[in-house]
Amino acid sequence: AKKYVLLQHFSGFPKESDLKLVKEELPELKDGEFLVEAVYLSVDPYMRAYEPRLELGTVFIGAQVAKIIESKSREYPVGKYVVGDFGWRSHTIADEKAAKSEALLVQILPDLGQLPLSLGLGILGMPGNTAYFGFLEICEPKAGETVVVSGAAGAVGSHVGQIAKIKGCKVIGIAGDDEKGKWLLDELGFDYFINYKKPYLAKTLAQCAPNGIDCYFDNVGGEISSTVLSQMNLFGRVSVCGSISSYNADYGHLPKATITQGFIVMKQLKIEGIIVTRWDNRQNEAFQQNLQWTNEGKLKYRETITEGFENMFKAFVSMLEGGNIGKAVVKV
Ligand code: NDP
């Protein structure tokens, strides 16, 4: 078995030497235990954001789709696929009790029919739940409203934009690459795409949303979000899901963002931060709805798949740099 342990805390962008890939011998299973083998591992922005809180020497955090290959547990029989927060490990021994704890959150993956198992880490997993609850519960979109999504071509953002379309909204996606924009416009049905790496974001946004913005789903924070907030309508709703523009900034050197409090007051905006675990007891609702939309062809997905457990780090950094379209995953 192999695992990645944290050697030193990240400073700025993560370096490969911050983690170490080590081998480990796994013991025999005891009663109630089962052994899983990773099939797909997730690389997510939250890993960068949560890293400062990890203890040195621990296994790096993360979820995976894994197959149960040995078992002394009736609840977790051989052959089943599970999604769990096992971290960056090729093989993991878990016991039934730990499997139900918040730390591991092991769930047997329901039958997905023809769909790939990796979706358990994407539209049918944590990012899908984030898009579903984070957008619908906080933004409460109404047909005809104008919705802006930042980080629009990523796992969460591409999903939010499509839910907004399903709800009859006009959708403007912001991301950092024209090829991503093409996907959003041609395949996902976004109404407008803006590349934030090009100049005149504010002007372009105003052209796309001449009547102002009603809902903003914020994945990135920083200057992009300041610009969006300054163009919101009265009683606009903002779901603050992430702030990836600052995750790699050293503490004390956070990027500057224009002060927007004036707009927030004058437009009486509702701005709410969200963490997807708030809706843990309603996960099945999001899963069923996202599955149905996918099967109906209303919700499309794309994955950027990196092959090989030894390429976890590369896949992680590539995702932070914008190398992914849709969900970034590693296939073992
Ligand atoms: P993505 O698939 O969107 O991947 C990250 C993307 O971020 C990159 O592809 C890149 O795209 C973009 N990015 C990187 N640096 C910057 C920057 N400086 N400014 C703007 N965009 C940047 O990841 P996820 O969909 O998994 O996550 C999206 C956001 O949602 C993250 O902020 C994440 O932390 C948050 N999140 C929050 C959850 C919650 O419970 N609150 C749960 C899940 C995710 P580009 O080419 O466009 O730059």
Q: Determine whether the shortest distance from the Cβ of 274 to ligand 1 is under 6 A.
A: yes
Please state whether the predicted TM-score (pTM) of the whole model is above 0.90: yes
Which residue stretches of the chain are H helix? 45-50, 96-99, 126-139, 155-166, 178-186, 201-208, 222-229, 261-266, 283-295, 312-320
Average pLDDT of the residues of the chain: 96
- Token pair for 313: 């780090």
Interface predicted TM-score (ipTM) of this complex, two decimals: 0.99
CB 64 within 8 A of CB 121: yes
- CATH T-level assignment (fold) for domain 2-121+301-331: Quinone Oxidoreductase; Chain A, domain 1 (3.90.180)
Residue 95 has pLDDT above 70, yes or no: yes
Distance 243 CA to ligand 1 centre (A): 7
Pocket test for ligand 1, best of 46, 219, 317 (most atoms within 8 A of CB): 219
- Token pair for 253: 């050197």
Q: How confident is the model at residue 149 (pLDDT cuts 50, 70, 90)?
A: very high
pLDDT at residue 260, as a whole number: 75
- CATH T-level assignment (fold) for domain 126-275: Rossmann fold (3.40.50)
pLDDT digits (tens, 9 = 90+) for 17-62: 999 999 999 999 999 999 999 999 999 999 999 999 999 999 999 9
Give the bridge partners for 94, in sequence order. Answer: 34
Residue spans in the chain of domains classed CATH 3.90.180.10: 2-121+301-331
pLDDT digits (tens, 9 = 90+) for 261-316: 899 999 999 999 999 999 999 999 999 999 999 999 999 999 999 999 999 999 99
Q: Determine whether the shortest distance from the Cβ of 152 to ligand 1 is under 6 A.
A: no
Q: Cα separation of 227 and 49, whole Å?
A: 23
Q: How confident is the model at residue 251 (pLDDT cuts 50, 70, 90)?
A: low
Pocket test for ligand 1, best of 160, 220, 283, 327 (most atoms within 8 A of CB): 220
DSSP string across 146-208: EEEEESTTBHHHHHHHHHHHHTT-EEEEEES-HHHHHHHHHTS--SEEEETTSS-HHHHHHHH
Nearest residue (CA) to ligand 1, atom 13: 322
Residue spans in the chain of domains classed CATH 3.40.50.720: 126-275
